[in-house]
Structure 1
Amino acid sequence: MTRLWILPTLLVLSGSAVATAQFLKGSPGSATALLLAFLALAGMNSPLIFPRSIGAQEAQRRSAADGRPIVFWRPGCKYCIRLRVRLGRSGRQLYWVNIWRDPEGAATVRAANDGNETVPTVVVAGRPATNPDPEWVREQLSPSH
């Protein structure tokens, strides 16, 4: 669990150091802007935004049992962040697979996208959709699908 917080923590510490240096140089405005930018980056890469990732094999097993979609993503991807933010609370119902931590997940994404690791790739009932509309993903959570 602590490994999930390493990058966000480093971003907060780095941002604090850079902001402090700017503040000491007499630029409180740029210090504030830089600190806010680093805090935003830390937040986007934290477990607060993305639910805990599981392996592709486990996600496929769970999805086969309950029909919920699988989202293949990677940290820092602005389209993955957009999807996660626009899904809101319903995003926690999906199975999230970080392709940078799961080679099988990366292989699944490459197979669905002509050899490219294009994310987010959402798999519903074995059918992949690359960078789908968040509303469509939300619809896949309804019991009628």
Structure 2
Amino acid sequence: MDEKKLIEQQIFNDTSAYQDIMDLPYTSSKRHLPMEQIDRAAQFAPFGALEGFSSLIKDKTKDYTRKKYSTAAEEKCITQQLNYLETHPLKVDVNYFNDKSGYYEHLKGYLKKIEPQKGRVTFDETSIVIVNIRAIKLV
């Protein structure tokens, strides 16, 4: 059962507080005409803009998680990929942790140089710390 139905059950299942008015007949207003169905639905339309907003936030937070440190096996794999790219100029998508922004970002480009003594690699114009690289995929 989805979250909406669970909340609805929690709110509307206990009607004991309203037993005194449950059997009273409906009386329409003598001052106001009944609202048209289309107008009744339109008053809730602004909330339609929020539909799917929470799922969008969840999708974005997956991209912007805090830094996770790679295992030795993952670092070895990334090093092998970088060594391969040094001799094979292929366009790749690099997922890396940006120290300035504090989030993971994607960079699409070609490997320009590897500086093992500095622990950095350069893709096009961007220099990245090797241990901050999370994944390298072919584009």
TM-score by length of 2: 0.28
Pick the structure with more strand per residue: 2
Rg larger in structure: 2
